[in-house]
Structure 1
Amino acid sequence: MVWIPFWSKKPDDKASAPTSDTPAKCPVDHSKFAKKSQEPAKCPVDHDKLDPTTKMPYNLSATNKVPGQKLDLPTERTLSSIPRGDEESAGVWEYPSPQQMLNAMVRKGHKDTPEADVPAMVDVHNFLNEGAWVEILKWEKKYEEESGKAPRLLRFTGRPNELSPRARMLQWMGLIYPSKYGGPPPFDRHDWTVLRYDSAGEKREVRYVIDYYAGPPENGFPTFFLDVRPALDSVASVRDRSELWSKSVWEKALGHGGRQE
């Protein structure tokens, strides 16, 4: 698990984080989407019109204001450092503009979203994604060295209402050992599917699980913990996680720090 203080951003970053004392959390209240009628639950989104790589609508407006919008929000999108798709020609992923972010949140029912806070929400969103990709690159380093080809992000899925097995286990352990493991559950979860090249040059899809935890504010800025690891759904991923765990235990036994996961 890696700790990421938001105030560690580069000095030239334009947007600033909210300065509230309220602990950091996902800006979207996903509980509002739960259907409370007796009818069978179903997704209100037409999936035929969704981009399969992002689970977002193809036609999400980048420039149009929402009804009643008072502030002019930036419409420019920022390029990430994350390679997109399965070919170099696909370029990199683009982050949503503040206007797109507001449009998406209003579309999902969050009409009371403070317009002035949206640029900071986008900034935190981008910052955490970059941090998650850095952690994935650490896991993928040996495969990149073997193949000579860098990994790429194929697609991602947000699963905010689903605790990962590890997050669930930590919550259980918190009930038994609250002084060591006690704490709130992650405020968000993503599953990222990464394209990996093996030593023979063959392509393989690897799923990563990312749990996002809120930390205590520092210097008026929020802090976050990212738990990034390959999902235990393949022999290679089980081996990678076992090797990292055994290496960490061995280094601690020898009195070395070791990388935290």
Structure 2
Amino acid sequence: MGATTSTSSSSPQPSSNLDSSQKQASEIPPPGCPMHQKKMDGCPMHQEPNQKSESCSGPAHQERAYEYVQCPMRATQKDDIDPSNMMPPPNQTPAPDQPFTLSVVREESSIPRAFTDKKWVYPSSQMFWNAMLRKGWKWKDDDIEAVDMENIIKIHNKNNEKAWSEILKWEALHAKECPCGPSLIRFGGKAKEYSPRAQIRSWMGYELPFDRHDWIVDRCGKQVRYVIDYYDGGEVDKDYHFTILDVRPAFDSMSAIWDRMKVAWWRWTS
């Protein structure tokens, strides 16, 4: 999220690249456009004291995320203290009984975030640790070290990048109606809600997926749901791949059904 590389058994073949040439604007953009705004370096020491950063709308864990991408030392900056309670951001705070220090650095993904000009930002090792604790995980029950958390983050990020690349293959079928390309609105885990496809495979003797995610994608104003089943692919390889992904659009619309039928036919006749 092994020598087996993450693959998708139901993804269509990539389409040819779209023509990237665009008509240049004949007028100078008005002063209100972003390109006229003064750009600031990511670290706080490059910013003037009276300047405030603007936060984009989005999930709570994405707020101020770029501060930890561009300048990891933000974790120790006084500016991070919440004036309402004089505490640092909760999701980056070490747990009381945490046995070692974890990184708070966050990596930018290649996945566009819907309704913004930014991309999704992956959690830090510290955020991942805190999230597992909230789900009831007891670290004392496992033989775990700081390097293990770093590897978990790498696997997590690789899985998401692979999932997005598979979604892009499906979205290539709609390149004409959405030439700007898709973006991710939100996602959620449904580990115990097995998809009909996974259940049918189980009845045929195949293993059930160990996880499932539903990703909601914006296709130029149209919301499309994708189902992603995660299967164990063996040992983790040098590129941190060990998961086999089954990515496909959910049967939520006639368009999705038609896409699935077309791809099934292509696979059958190829």
Cα root mean square deviation, aligned: 2.6
Matches within 5 A, 1:225-244: 225-244=244-263
Compared with structure 1, are the counterparts of its residues 151 and 219 closer, same or farther at alpha carbon in structure 2 (3 Å cutoff)? closer
Partner of 1:122: helix, strand, or coil? helix
Kindly, what percent of the aligned residue pairs are identical?
41
The answer to which structure has the higher strand fraction is 1
Conservation of the 8 A alpha-carbon contact between 1:196 and 1:206:
yes
Gapped regions of structure 2 (runs ≥ 5): 7-56, 64-87
Find the counterpart in structure 1 of residue 208 from structure 2. Answer: 185
Deviations 1:213-235 (A, max 9, x none): 00122768762210000001100
Deviation beyond 4 Å, 4+ runs, structure 1: 52-60, 218-222
Q: Structure 1 length as normaliser, TM-score?
A: 0.66
Find the counterpart in structure 2 of residue 166 from structure 1. Answer: 197
Conservation of the 8 A alpha-carbon contact between 2:4 and 2:237:
no
Name which of structure 1's ranges 235-244 and 57-66 shifts more when overlaid on structure 2.
Answer: 57-66
Find the counterpart in structure 2 of residue 216 from structure 1. Answer: 234
Compared with structure 1, are the counterparts of its residues 139 and 55 closer, same or farther at alpha carbon in structure 2 (3 Å cutoff)? farther
1:210 partner amino acid:
I
Conservation of the 8 A alpha-carbon contact between 1:191 and 1:207:
yes
Partner of 1:69: helix, strand, or coil? coil
Find the counterpart in structure 2 of residue 77 from structure 1. Answer: 106
Of 210, 213, 218, the match for 1:195? 218
* Inter-partner Cα distance in structure 1 for 2:119 and 2:234: 32
* Inter-partner Cα distance in structure 2 for 1:156 and 1:54: 10
Gapped regions of structure 1 (runs ≥ 5): 7-51, 175-181, 198-202, 252-261
Of 213, 222, 246, the match for 1:204? 222
* Inter-partner Cα distance in structure 1 for 2:132 and 2:105: 18
Shift of residue 53, structure 1, vs aligned partner: 6.8
Say whether 1:124 aligns with 2:142.
no
Report how many residues are paired.
Answer: 189
Conservation of the 8 A alpha-carbon contact between 1:84 and 1:92:
yes
Compared with structure 1, are the counterparts of its residues 62 and 226 closer, same or farther at alpha carbon in structure 2 (3 Å cutoff)? same
Compared with structure 1, are the counterparts of its residues 159 and 53 closer, same or farther at alpha carbon in structure 2 (3 Å cutoff)? farther
1:83 partner amino acid:
P
Q: Structure 2 length as normaliser, TM-score?
A: 0.64
